[in-house]
Structure 1
Amino acid sequence: SGEAAALLYVWLTGSIFRPFADRSKYFPVVVRRGLLLVISYLVTNVTLNIDRLYLKSALGGTAVTQYYVVSLIGKTLVLFIAPINTIIISYLTKENRRISRKQFFLFSGAGMVVSAVFFLLCQIGTPLFIRLFYPDLSDSTAGLVTVVNLTQILAMLSAYLFIVVLTFTDEKWQLILQVVHLIVLLGLIVSMTPGAGIRGFAAAMLIANALRIGAVMLLGTVCAGRKYAGEEKRRNR
């Protein structure tokens, strides 16, 4: 409501929204790209909350609580990385040039190092958090901590890699990979959860996120090289 009131105030007193009806030649492109990204992020939010959507009906409320408690710190880090990603994409797009394959590997390596540090912090912080605030769940969730933390860290890393790849690929690829990831994830959790319970669900989440990392790395490796090579040829002509 506060944001809506601020927008209304700016619209009434300012001039920034006055020429809103005047559409430039870039309007269709912006709308198309914006819609692709909006749908992509909606799919991402579904995957981030799939534990609440699926575990409740498959295993009951206790499983939802267990997975939520174990994944809470990791999910917080995923949310924390969002504003950082905005800074990264602003930096990468401030110059009208594409990054090379080598630069893509450097950015990816930096993300992996930071992710490894965050994983260690989660491994230390999650058991302490559970013992302090949910001591009754400490024993039942002990075997889930490593798998769930790694799953959340891979989700954080993939969000970062998507931002890097987005600077030199078409937005449709992000949507395609996110939809494929959701389909693969649903297939894995439906097949692995009934037999192994919450541990099977956690393993399915980990496998799906690892596959998504591999897909994003493959896309970035292929596209970064092609884009950069093409620009080098044009500059040398």
Structure 2
Amino acid sequence: MKTKKFLVDSLLNIISAALPLLVLQLISYPLIARVLGGEEYGMIITLISVFTVVSFPLGNVLNNIRLLKDKEYKEANEEGDFNPLILGSSFISIVLIITVSLYVDSSLDILDLILLSLITVGSLWKEYLVVTFRLVLNYRGILLNNLFMSLGYIVGSFIFLYFESWQLIYFIGLLFSLVYIVRHTSLHKERYKFSSLFKDTASKGMLLYIANLLKNILSYADKLILLPLLGPVSVAIYYSSTILGKIISMMINPVNSVILSYLVKVESISLKKVIKMFSISSLLGLFGYVATILISPYFLEFFYKDWAEQSLELVYITTATAIIGVLSTVLQPFNIRFNKISWQIYMSGLHLIVYVASSFYFFKIGGLKGFTFGVLIAAVFKLIMQLSVFLLNYRRNNSTHSSS
């Protein structure tokens, strides 16, 4: 792994992830909140969580499986599998988004459901097709793609002022992104056929999808759980308290996709390098935590004045949860690359159990603040799990190699 290129690619991917995120968090979301008010904003944030949970795991899994198995397909001179898989995933995502969205908000009309379906499928295809840049370690391409998507979000935000349809912000942003990607990839032109590698690809994809689905459900479960418990206004208060922490964490998380892109090209990695990466991430996380706590009063007062005071009471806890989540995801690429994918399901399942138990237990004790503390406990548990699984398998693999 070439350190200089890895650092440059990591920086490019951080900027790439930050661009659309900052546009959404600093322009689009505050605009929606001011125009539509706290109650409707809370409901919209919940619906955004729903479409993200539905689309991201499917697209991300196909992206990672394509990355992990691309060499195998080339060596076997095989083509296919992925376009049929993404077509089937698109159909599944439409059924899921309509069903879950109507459960969350039964007042949605046919136009809302059509737009939700379009942005869900668009997000799925975008998440998969962007692998074309990861396969050749072209992170400048990812940066340009996200720049176009950010411009689309800005255009969509202006259009939102006239139509007051938040889905148009995402639709136009994804449209800009897909137009750019399609011009620079041929993956969507691959034949719709099944190869001799399909069974292994589909089975690994299914295992990783279940793990990713559980992970993403947990990432957005807070909004989905709080809505029936305390209503949309509490969702707005809670979400506002998490924004800066999420920005910091989502600016660090892109390093993980770079790590996996490089790991698929090596057969092993030293424990020293893993510890070094984890230590650097911890220092960045600590800096991010302090910066978030200092900035939050000014940020919330400016963008979410109506409920800034209530959100500030939660910032210390929600930011710690976000940073600890970053440290967990730093370890995940190593577990995906060098351990069995089934481990991801076991860890996600255990995390889900602890998450539900701790969040509900502390909610009963301390209401919204107690709920946030319960989520923090679950995040700490997840970090310990990721670290334990990596070390356990690393030692087992090393002892196997030394004995042989």
Q: Which band: TM-score by shorter chain?
A: 0.7 to 0.9
Q: Does 1:217 align with 2:387?
A: yes
Q: Deviations over 1:28-48 (max 9, x none)?
A: 222222112222222122111
1:23 corresponds in structure 2 to: 195
Q: Does 1:76 align with 2:271?
A: no
Q: 1:56 aligns with which of 227, 230, 242?
A: 227
Q: Deviations over 1:65-112 (max 9, x none)?
A: 11100101222344434432111112223122x224343323322222
Secondary structure (helix, strand or coil) at the match of 1:113 reads: helix
- Offset, 1:152: 1.0
- Offset, 1:15: 9.8
Alignment of 1:186-225 (within 5 A): 186-225=356-395
Q: Deviations over 1:110-158 (max 9, x none)?
A: 2222222222222223222101112232322232111110011111221
Q: 1:92 to 1:5 in 2, by over 3 A?
A: closer
Stretches of structure 2 that go unaligned for 5 or more consecutive residues are: 1-121, 123-174
2:353 corresponds in structure 1 to: 183
- Offset, 1:5: 11
- Greater CA drift, 219-228 or 198-207: 219-228
Secondary structure (helix, strand or coil) at the match of 1:21 reads: coil
Superposition RMSD in Å: 2.7
Stretches of structure 1 that go unaligned for 5 or more consecutive residues are: none
- Offset, 1:217: 0.8
1:130 corresponds in structure 2 to: 300
Task: Tell me the distance in 2 between the aligned counterparts of 1:145 and 1:217.
Answer: 26
1:92 corresponds in structure 2 to: 263
2:90 corresponds in structure 1 to: none
Large movers: runs of 4+ above 6 Å: 4-7
8 Å CA contact 1:70–1:145 kept in 2: the answer is yes
Matched AA of 1:35 = M
Q: Deviations over 1:179-231 (max 9, x none)?
A: 21111111111221123111100100000000110111111111112223333
- Offset, 1:55: 1.0
8 Å CA contact 1:99–1:224 kept in 2: the answer is no
8 Å CA contact 1:144–1:199 kept in 2: the answer is yes
- TM-score w.r.t. the length of structure 1 is 0.84
Q: 1:164 aligns with which of 322, 327, 334?
A: 334
Q: 1:173 to 1:4 in 2, by over 3 A?
A: farther
Task: Tell me the distance in 2 between the aligned counterparts of 1:138 and 1:6.
Answer: 39
- Greater CA drift, 105-114 or 33-42: 105-114
Higher RCO (CA 8 Å, separation ≥ 6 residues): 1
8 Å CA contact 1:104–1:224 kept in 2: the answer is no
8 Å CA contact 2:363–2:369 kept in 1: the answer is yes
8 Å CA contact 2:296–2:312 kept in 1: the answer is no
Task: Tell me the distance in 2 between the aligned counterparts of 1:184 and 1:215.
Answer: 12
- Offset, 1:172: 0.9
Matched AA of 2:401 = E
